[in-house]
Amino acid sequence: MNKIQYSKIDHVQICVPAHSESEAREFYLHTLGFKEISKPESLRGSGGFWCSAGEIEVHIGLEDIKETESRRHPAFEITNLDEARKLLVEAGVKIKEEKPIPGRERYSFPDPFGNKIEFLEYKKS
């Protein structure tokens, strides 16, 4: 049997409460600096929006969220971990230090809807 050959993350789906699209836009597009991209016409009726973080598509969907704690999360590799931390703290975002992983520095934080987001940077050797 052939192995599946992955090349990169295609997209990450994040869900926010149905009444929170404006707040989600503020957090993802302004606080995190994601760029909004066109959502296919066939999916626009469900609300939400699509954006990109570098080459990664992030789909923000609207739904009735029942779980409050989850390990589900997207992890974004970034190149300015310390600077990003400062920006998040200035925006009032609570940072959580994560367990160490060899070769990487990382932390996570919740978005305003309880989704966990991780930022990481590979250490240069």
pTM of the model: 0.74
More confident residue, 36 or 72: 36
What's the confidence (pLDDT) of residue 11? Answer: 87
C-alpha distances out from residue 15 to 61, 70, 101, Å: 5, 12, 27
3 is a domain residue: no
Note whether residue 5 is domain-resident: no
Instruction: Answer yes or no: is 52 within a domain.
Output: yes
| Count of structural domains within the chain | 1
Q: The CATH number of the domain where 78 resides is what?
A: 3.10.180.10
Quick one: pLDDT at residue 76? Answer: 92
Residue 1 in any domain: the answer is no
What is the residue type of 95? I
Note the pLDDT tens digit of each residue in 42-88.
Answer: 889 989 999 999 989 999 988 876 655 566 789 899 889 999 999 99
- Residue at 30 is within a domain: yes
The range of the structural domain enclosing residue 59 comes to: 11-122
Could you read off the pLDDT of 77-102 as tens digits, one per residue? 988 999 999 999 999 999 999 988 88
Asked whether residue 2 is domain-assigned, the answer is no
